[in-house]
Structure 1
């Protein structure tokens, strides 16, 4: 055992049961103050090292060997400055440089490399407030047979958009109108508006309008399948490794099956939501809406307060997307330690 207090060293060599020595040796890497129990970077240290051969403890015993720490040379949306890269004793400072990004966790902007090869703190990340900076590709499918319900749908869409940031590294929206079939002229793709919110809203107002087929069918399932195969497509602006969300807003029960396309979407990692807007005493099939949504928290069936739907959606997105601020932003900028 080596015990150091300031500049004084105390070395104890003795025979000990193998298990007891091994248990003591495990304590070397346990936290003690700002470092570990066995260290080379603090005034006090106590180290245990075990050997099992004859005369193995002859000579000096230090128990510690300086080890390099794992590299931490990238900080997207910011940079790292280290005094000696990942060598023992190196002190690193983390700084976010891109607009509206801050170090997360707050205040954790420094760490240093310990002699045991570990960093004193896990490296932080650069993150933005979430909301409004959700990272998601959202497709919304609209159907209405009632002008008042349609106006509510437009209001929900605008309330949701106003509470989110539209950008290449935040939320992007796409959508369409459907009835018996998808209205191809109504489609708004992710890559049509250059991430400009006003342009996007203008496209939705111009294209996504009530235009129902003469057969009066409401094939929600077919519209969902179309979204899966055509809307969630990289050629139409979907980003890789970004959370995907499908929302169905309707005031009618579906004529066709919705469960199979909903399950296909969820199997591919798409979060599905259903918003049912019943007007004029109409009763919507809650079981069918649940098949679309997949779970209770993803189903919205408001009686009168439409504004609460927008709030509820934002709260839901917060739960699913904002849980770890370090992963809800695109990390496509690399800044290396210097």
Structure 2
């Protein structure tokens, strides 16, 4: 009877609780341990909580041994310490390339973590921050490629590490994980990180534990070294004046500054330095880096001037720029001369023109022109031509106003004046071709001299002086329309030679002369007007300005002294007017 009583007492003493509570579980992962385990009161002789982690089976992909079983609960102090001496205190401090059994003893219920009912998930703000770090394209879903990006960004030895964590989520590789699913997976993983950091198992993280944890992360990745100063800044940012961090503070700093430091997202597509150009990046090809491009002198940048590496591991503009050589319009070789360019028609090329003086060619314009970076020449190309007059390669139409205000005597002077202008030129099929007609209220087609019909001055002079004078009215518009419809379309008009129209009048047009003048100018005709002031006629300066080619002041000549002033002086001036720029006699 005494023996039974003693055993009962001993049993009661054994069963007395120690006041310590531990999370008790046997699961295949820490996440499952939290989900299915229960917090139990320890017996009196069970003075510590224990955690046992076993890595027992290697991955066929990476060769690393994966987490197979997690056990946790209450244990006798010395038995637990004995297991702890025989095994590493934390497998996470090493690289599981062989079967491992890790043991930890602590006197805090936070040794593994207490599963407590909460109105909101554990460390919600820190988890939200971590979710945003993974959600690179900001669509509210963490996709498999984004999880892979984080693994690669940390240069993890298993680049599919984070993807593997999510394999328990149905259709993760196809649909990804929203915040709730992400939280269910990553909350356990983040608490594992806290267990790794909590070396003394007191449920708090001191600075030195935090710093050693960051250094230990380098063993799990191939880079991302954190200095003691940086670790101090991260720690004090949240712990502030406290000497230790709690779980949420640790998760907050880990999901923020630590992950930012350890994770280096790079843009995989190589952004080449353009040929003949330069590239300057703020941070190489790492996310957030901006690369700007420039080209060497003489080249123009085609494409974006700046690209940015995004958090998605892609450049915001997938195609980089290139440098294209700046070119000016190509000059053609001058007729009767030679042009030599230092760099063809590329930027900074200098082109020099020389003319064949032995055959009578002279230069018009500047002999030197340089191609600028704006793709324009500093000066127009010079041309080589024989002196004008007498040499001109033109198709000339002369139109004489024979209205009643002119009078017979003045008519003779006008025809002689026209003949004297032609006399100053060399006339032939290959140089100057001339057509002429008169008008009043009608166009005299019977006596019209067709373009190219006469190619000697003698015959042309005779035909001009035989143009009769009669009639009345000044329908200048009708005359210009005849030149447009017929005179400049006959077979003698050369297609590649400049057309010049020379109109002699002493009065205001009685019909619309502006519209047909515009039609002539639109087909490339150089329209000129010689206005002769006459007592019986009246000139309209504005009407003439609207008729002639631009600039107006170079294509209008007013003879204020009337028909008596049709002298050699004006012959020379009008000859120069007809000549214009010899470089434009030929059309390209």
Please indicate, yes or no, whether the TM-score normalized by the shorter chain is above 0.5: yes
User: 2: distance between equivalents of 1:209 and 1:268?
Assistant: 30
**SS state of the match for residue 254, structure 1?**
coil
Q: Write out per-residue CA displacement over residues 269-325 of structure 1, whole angstroms, 9 at most, x where no aligned residue.
A: 11111122232353222222223224122122212232243222222234x332x3x
Question: Residue in 1 aligned with 2:464?
Answer: 204
**1:296 and 2:556 equivalent?**
no
Sort the Cα spacing of 1:312 and 1:203 in 2 relative to 1 into closer, same or farther, 3 A.
Answer: same
**SS state of the match for residue 176, structure 1?**
strand
Q: Write out per-residue CA displacement over residues 129-170 of structure 1, whole angstroms, 9 at most, x where no aligned residue.
A: 233211111111112321233133113212211221112222
Between the two structures, name the one with larger relative contact order (CA 8 Å, sep ≥ 6).
1
Sort the Cα spacing of 1:300 and 1:148 in 2 relative to 1 into closer, same or farther, 3 A.
Answer: farther
Give the structure with the higher percent helix: 2
User: 2: distance between equivalents of 1:260 and 1:329?
Assistant: 26
**1:217 and 2:477 equivalent?**
no
Sort the Cα spacing of 1:251 and 1:160 in 2 relative to 1 into closer, same or farther, 3 A.
Answer: same
**1:248 and 2:503 equivalent?**
yes
Question: Residue in 2 aligned with 1:153?
Answer: 414
**1:229 and 2:485 equivalent?**
yes
**SS state of the match for residue 446, structure 2?**
helix
Q: 1:191 aligns with which of 452, 466, 469?
A: 452
CA contact (8 A) 2:355 2:363 kept: no
1:1-338 aligned within 5 A: 100-102=359-361, 127-144=385-402, 145=404, 146-193=407-454, 195-206=455-466, 208-212=467-471, 216-235=472-491, 237-280=492-535, 282-294=537-549, 295-304=552-561, 305-307=565-567, 308-318=569-579, 320-322=580-582, 324=583, 328=585
Q: Write out per-residue CA displacement over residues 157-200 of structure 1, whole angstroms, 9 at most, x where no aligned residue.
A: 1221122111222211101011111111120012221x211111
Q: Write out per-residue CA displacement over residues 172-229 of structure 1, whole angstroms, 9 at most, x where no aligned residue.
A: 1101011111111120012221x211111111112x22131xxx32211011000111
CA contact (8 A) 2:362 2:387 kept: no
Sort the Cα spacing of 1:170 and 1:266 in 2 relative to 1 into closer, same or farther, 3 A.
Answer: same
Question: Residue in 1 aligned with 2:198?
Answer: none
State the 1:78 CA deviation: 9.2
After superposition, the CA RMSD in angstroms is: 4.2
CA contact (8 A) 2:497 2:586 kept: no
User: 1: distance between equivalents of 2:498 and 2:547?
Assistant: 18
User: 1: distance between equivalents of 2:297 and 2:512?
Assistant: 60
User: 1: distance between equivalents of 2:477 and 2:361?
Assistant: 42
User: 2: distance between equivalents of 1:202 and 1:247?
Assistant: 19
CA contact (8 A) 1:169 1:329 kept: no
CA contact (8 A) 2:451 2:488 kept: no
The count of aligned residue pairs is: 239
Sort the Cα spacing of 1:329 and 1:131 in 2 relative to 1 into closer, same or farther, 3 A.
Answer: farther
Sort the Cα spacing of 1:199 and 1:330 in 2 relative to 1 into closer, same or farther, 3 A.
Answer: farther
Sort the Cα spacing of 1:316 and 1:181 in 2 relative to 1 into closer, same or farther, 3 A.
Answer: same
CA contact (8 A) 1:276 1:300 kept: yes
- Structure 1 unaligned regions, length at least 5: 1-17, 20-24, 28-73, 80-93, 109-123, 332-338
Question: Residue in 2 aligned with 1:84?
Answer: none
User: 2: distance between equivalents of 1:234 and 1:96?
Assistant: 34
Q: What TM-score, normalized by structure 1, do the two folds share?
A: 0.58
Q: Which structure has the greater CA radius of gyration?
A: 2
User: 2: distance between equivalents of 1:103 and 1:283?
Assistant: 42
Sort the Cα spacing of 1:152 and 1:298 in 2 relative to 1 into closer, same or farther, 3 A.
Answer: farther
Sort the Cα spacing of 1:288 and 1:313 in 2 relative to 1 into closer, same or farther, 3 A.
Answer: same
Sort the Cα spacing of 1:280 and 1:126 in 2 relative to 1 into closer, same or farther, 3 A.
Answer: closer
Sort the Cα spacing of 1:250 and 1:132 in 2 relative to 1 into closer, same or farther, 3 A.
Answer: same
User: 2: distance between equivalents of 1:217 and 1:104?
Assistant: 45
Structure 1: 4+ residue segments shifted above 3 A: 74-79, 94-97, 99-105, 124-127, 327-331
